[in-house]
Chain A
């Protein structure tokens, strides 16, 4: 009997500190990585400005939220930012299209090398970063409305009588649900609609798709709009889950790229897979398993150290290590990449 409660306690512990955070963080990464992978599949370059696009989208959502709040509009138990999402997506999408028209389309016409696009995207990254900082400043901003917890740690303990609590934030559920919905919509779009099929064809073989009368500019336009929408969604969800800081999104660039490459770049399904792989390994490797082992081990055995593979400061290192491993062992990624 006692051992089985210990087992339950250990399970709850892991879900609370590893499973749930990793699921929501993984969803955010996956959304970002799908955007990166789409841009890569269609435009064939790694977009360094993607993180800043997330940050821009989140910023617009914050402004809209403030505006709504000043008018007294709110969405009850949900955070107001959910209402602000459509506006943020609209504006970020417009921005992405404007950037493409003013910066990237020129190189596309000239058929420049991919690396030129990458350098241009670094320029865009600088500009967006500056823009976000100028518009909203560099302070940390936390969304503070809506119901915070679905399950509180204390209530859970009372309910189940276990000694470990389980806290479930509303934003975590929201993140996961919204991510699943948007991914399903995306796949429906890519598989079933004419434009989606055109995008897949274009990504598979540019010349052949051009011969069969696909309008490349339209494909590129749609790609940017989708990428910007996903980036906004990911940015807002990250902001809701944690907080908004202009610098955070630059640092998310590495895990996002890692997720896209690990899954097989150019493969949306792979990007989602990669997002969860990166998130789970990041959180597992930096979690201290001391208590977990204490529950599972027979008797009163308690490990000496924290039983933590890496300290939390080395989160980056985890995504990077996975990246290196995949590049060494299977350079094409888990799902052999290159086609949508």
Chain B
């Protein structure tokens, strides 16, 4: 793997190689999270994207400067709407508990929900239109807390865990297929919320210019120590003479980019290592043994007194938290939040390919799977373009197929991913690193 990245480094550029490496690390966190759900417990979560997206949302909510004008414009009505939401929930729970099951309960429940919804909607619409009217080109949303973005990694995990708990309450304990479909639905809804609730996330207008946990390239190129470092590194040509200023400036720009990406890599690597350590410990603990026992035979495990549903919920929440962390990391790396870019093929099913290729149930395997899959996913595009270029040389200049081929070449990677997934599932269902059977009992 390292070798492949080196090849990209020399062949394309070090910046590209490091960019791929950083995304590989983030993907590794995602696949470790999914591995907990699928590999440890056998849950088919088709809504990985929901956790990633809520992690990303948390990143802006934590780090963006609060928009004071928007708060004063719509904050009060928003609070009222929130109070009504809470009241509705409380009333609903009371109705559910106090009135015995039957027609009366369903009708009063419907009434409570409907009335609560109408009240909430009234204040909510006021709030959102007020907030979205505040400088819509620049902000038009509430902003965040203005804290350093690194806190959002933890907060993103917590938010994703909360969402997962809610999903788990509804859909766990049903057949595995239903769970898959329910999670798929949640993730679709999550994305449409992010796209349309402009007061929260600016919707498709995107939030850009998030703060960074690492220095900016521009500042680096002006700071003294960095200039010294680069001149020391590149300052002398091969024959020992000093190089010209132009060459040095170019080297400066290049190495600033590389340096920033290295900083990110270090941070991400730390997260990966921490999660890997914790996950491995968990897997080898009695808890991990119990999880595997439940996965392998639910009936037997519940006969031994294990509460299968609540254990499933537990591991679903923990796994989603890890994926939420990776979502916050992703937004941090990009420095912007673009709800439109969340598509299930990339954020849910690609992660599935990673886990299955790497070896379900093996944490190290998930990391390797993430690296390989992401590498193939990224590099399949230039490769297929290159291939198509060669095919096109054989075709006549005027052949309409030429243009079509050039246009569709990037989609080759879809077929490739599907093929890899099906092949691995069939010929090596245990993946690259099979799950290790624990020897100590």
Contact = CB atoms under 8 A, between A and B. Distances in A.
Contacts of B349: 122, 125-126
B257 interface: no
Q: For A103, A127, A250, which residue has the most chain B Cβ atoms within 10 angstroms?
A: A127
A56 interface: no
A137 B419 contact: no
Contacts of B185: 254, 258, 316, 319-320, 323-324
A129 B345 contact: yes
Given A258-B185, A327-B174, A126 B345 contact: yes
B192 A133 contact: no
A311 interface: yes
B181 A115 contact: no
A261 interface: yes
B176 A114 contact: yes
B391 interface: no
B278 interface: no
A313 B198 CA distance: 13
Contacts of A126: 345, 349, 353, 414-415, 417-418, 421
Contacts of B188: 251, 254, 316, 320
A62 to B, nearest CB: 14
B280 interface: no
Interface in A41-85: 45-46, 48
B181 A133 contact: no
B313 interface: no
Interface string B170-203: 1100101110111011101100100110000000
B264 interface: no
A324 B192 contact: no
Nearest to A102: B422
Interface string A129-149: 111011101100000000000
B419 A127 contact: yes
Interface string A302-338: 0001000001011011011001100110010000000
A151 to B, nearest CB: 33
Contacts of B300: none
A327 B182 CA distance: 10
Q: Is the interface of B mostly helix, strand, loop or mixed?
A: helix
B412 interface: yes
B114 to A, nearest CB: 10
Nearest to B429: A116
Contacts of A48: 46, 180
Contacts, number: 133
Nearest to B405: A134
B413 A103 contact: no
A106 B426 contact: yes
Interface in B194-236: 195-196
Contacts of B184: 253-254, 257
Interface residues of B, number: 44
Interface in B395-436: 404, 407-408, 411-419, 421-422, 425-426, 429
A46 B418 CA distance: 17
A11 interface: no
B182 A323 contact: yes
Given A133-B408, A134-B412, A313-B196, A327 B178 contact: yes
A40 B180 CA distance: 14
Contacts of A250: 344-345
Nearest to A103: B422
A304 to B, nearest CB: 9
B186 A320 contact: yes
A313 B191 CA distance: 10
Contact of A123 (B170, B177, B344, B421): B421
A124 interface: yes
A150 interface: no
Contacts of A122: 349, 352, 421
B153 interface: no
B151 to A, nearest CB: 30
B171 A137 contact: no
Nearest to B407: A137
A127 B196 contact: no
Contacts of A261: 178, 181
B418 A124 contact: yes
A328 to B, nearest CB: 7
A116 B425 contact: yes
Interface in A81-138: 103, 106, 114-116, 118-120, 122-131, 133-135, 137-138
B174 A130 contact: no
A128 B177 CA distance: 21
B42 interface: yes
B259 interface: no
B44 interface: yes
Contacts of A131: 414-415
Contacts of B176: 114-115, 118
B125 interface: yes
A218 B195 CA distance: 47
5 contacts: A46-B181, A133-B408, A137-B407, A320-B189, A328-B170
Given A118-B180, A127-B422, A305-B125, 10 more contacts: A118-B177, A120-B422, A122-B352, A127-B414, A130-B413, A134-B408, A134-B411, A135-B408, A257-B181, A324-B171
Interface of B: 42, 44, 46, 125, 170-171, 174, 176-178, 180-182, 184-186, 188-189, 192, 195-196, 344-345, 349, 352-353, 356, 404, 407-408, 411-419, 421-422, 425-426, 429
The 5 closest A-B pairs by CB, nearest first: A130-B414, A126-B418, A127-B418, A130-B415, A123-B421
